Chains A and B, each alone.
Chain A
Amino acid sequence: MSSLGGQGPELRCALAGLAAWTMTVGPSAFSLRAGSGARAAAALALGAAVAGPLAGRRHAAVARHLGLSAFAGLAALSWVLCSLAGLRVPGDRFQAILGAVAWGAFALSWPHPWSVSERHMLMPAGSAAGPAPRRSVASYAIAVPAAAGLVAAACLGLAWRIREPSRAVLAQTVAVAAAVGLLAAAGDVAVRTPGPREDVRQPRTRAGLGQQVASSLLWALVLAALVAFLLLTR
């Protein structure tokens, strides 16, 4: 049990991938009507789902490429080949709901986002787990994420107003990206902003906002000018 406890995150990722594969990829790929290509892709996806997380601790990049990219890509390939063979993927509505839940669990089981550098991923446990403990939290620490959640819900709701299929897909994609981005950023801001008893007079290495921040703000301003131009010339 102690060895299993030491492999906790890797085991969790492998089990979540296995569950997603069992509920969505396996049944259709190994049915009688499926072709050999779909079966091969499904088998390779299963291997990637299990082998990727288990390679995690020492080879983080390999683990992510295998456990996330290769698994998702091979699963999608298997679905495409099954669909071309005339199989319905997933088979029924209940299976579709279970599959969606399983893929959500798979996504949440991977603890390391792509933005985390290799250096941080190889740090000892706990050192890359977010900001340091705070003495106090800002008074608006809950209000900001709550407001962002409302805006995110509004974005998702707005996307459902579009009925044309091609534009609706685009709108849903934009809405999901906006919702995820807003919620993540709001959580970040709420956690890191200074509380009422926190001394905010921190030593600064240099005055000003910094080159990267200034360039991002400049791009945002350029796009805002473009928006204004489009509004004025419509």
Chain B
Amino acid sequence: MPGRAALLSLLLLAVAAAAWLGGLCCLAGRDDALALALCAAGAMSLRALQRVVRAGEEGVP
């Protein structure tokens, strides 16, 4: 995987981790709408990460 894709994947992983931690904190704090949005953002970050990794391995689709 090229260095740029590796950097981007690390960034996306950090974003996903932060989003899910924040989402669970919001869920504990009864802020359901924000929790849902944060968890969805975390999931989409991981989806983007998956695609970045695949693009880095196989060439840009």
A181's nearest neighbour on chain B, judged by CB, is B46
Whether the Cβ atoms of B45 and A192 lie closer than 8 Å is no
Whether the Cβ atoms of A155 and B52 lie closer than 8 Å is no
Question: Chain B contact residues (Cβ within 8 angstroms of A): what range?
Answer: 35 or more
Once A159-B24, A182-B16, A210-B60 are accepted as A-B contacts, the answer to whether A216 and B3 lie under 8 Å apart by CB is no
CA distance A206 to B50 in the complex (A): 19
Question: Chain A contact residues (Cβ within 8 angstroms of B): what range?
Answer: 35 or more
Which A residues are CB-close (under 8 A) to B57?
Answer: 131, 192
- In the assembled complex, the CB of A79 is this many whole angstroms from the nearest CB of chain B, namely 28
CA distance A122 to B47 in the complex (A): 25
Interface residue? A135 (CB, 8 A)? no
CA distance A206 to B19 in the complex (A): 31
Whether the Cβ atoms of B41 and A220 lie closer than 8 Å is yes
CA distance A217 to B12 in the complex (A): 9
Whether the Cβ atoms of B27 and A138 lie closer than 8 Å is no
Interface residue? A167 (CB, 8 A)? yes
Provide the B13-53 mask, 1 if CB < 8 A to any CB of A, else 0.
10111011101110110010111011111111111111111
Whether the Cβ atoms of A223 and B13 lie closer than 8 Å is no
Interface residue? A209 (CB, 8 A)? yes
Which B residues are CB-close (under 8 A) to A212?
Answer: 51, 55, 61
Interface residue? A3 (CB, 8 A)? no
Give A residues with C-beta under 8 Å from B. Answer: 131, 138, 144, 147-148, 151, 154-155, 158-159, 161-162, 167, 170-171, 174-175, 178, 181-182, 185-186, 188-189, 192-194, 200-213, 216-217, 219-220, 223-224, 226-227, 230-231, 234
Q: 9 tightest CB-CB pairs across the interface, nearest first?
A: A216-B48, A223-B41, A178-B20, A210-B60, A205-B59, A193-B6, A158-B24, A220-B44, A151-B17
11 further contact pairs, Cβ within 8 A, besides A194-B6, A213-B52: A151-B21, A161-B28, A162-B27, A181-B42, A185-B16, A186-B13, A188-B50, A194-B1, A202-B2, A220-B41, A227-B38
The contact sample of 13 A-B pairs, CB cut-off 8 A, is: A131-B57, A161-B28, A194-B1, A204-B2, A209-B8, A212-B55, A213-B51, A227-B34, A227-B37, A227-B38, A230-B37, A231-B34, A234-B31
